[in-house]
Amino acid sequence: MSVELNELTVGQDIGSRAIDVSRADLVRYAGASGDFNPIHWNGRFAEQVGLPGVIAHGMFTMGAAVQLVTDWIGNPAAVVDYQTRFTKPVLVEDVDGPGASIEVSGAIGAIDADNGTARVDLTVTAAGVKVLVKAQAVVKVW
């Protein structure tokens, strides 16, 4: 699929997906990223510091959510600017299989014809609550 800048319109939907998250996914992300904060794998520790339980790394959610954009544009290096605020934690239950589901949808938020870029605004929720706010990815459109 090839995206053309002059065929994009502000507000246009780029799609949506659900990302299942298990405790094993958090352990895998901890190892891959080097972020071994125990709130992401140790329920006792998480509760001691006042959390409802083990929560996903904000950076896991941010990293997984942008795949919608990467797949839409067809080139991971097209993402030249990506930012978000982390507002609510994603609680991942201790169950066999997925302990949470993250819902991601994206829409074109702005088009910059001079720079050949488009901004995709992501809506990212878990259990019906927004977990990322102002999640915006600027992509280079060739």
Partner 1 sequence: MSEQAGVNPDLAGRVYPAGAAYTVGREKIREFASAVKATHPAHFDVEAARALGYTDLVAPPTFAIIVAQRADAQLIEDSDSGIDFSRVVHADQRFVHHRPIVAGDELVAELHVDQVRAMGGGAMITTRAEISTVAGEKTATTTSSILVRGEGQ
Binding stretches for partner 1 (CB under 8 A): 19, 25, 28-29, 31-35, 49, 58-60, 62-64, 66-67, 70-71, 75-77, 79-86, 137
Closest distance to partner 1 from the beta carbon of 66 (Å) = 5
* Integer Cα distance of 60 and 71 in angstroms: 17
Looking at the Cβ atoms of 32 and 95, the one nearer to partner 1 is 32
Q: How far is the CB of 110 from partner 1 (least distance, A)?
A: 16
Sign of CA dihedral 126, 136, 14, 9: positive
Closest CA to 54 of 64, 66, 67, 44: 44
- Looking at the Cβ atoms of 94 and 142, the one nearer to partner 1 is 142
Instruction: Kindly state the tokens that stand for 130.
Output: 């927004």
Give 9 or 109: the residue with its C-beta nearer to partner 1: 109
Q: Which residues pair with 121 in a beta bridge?
A: 107, 136
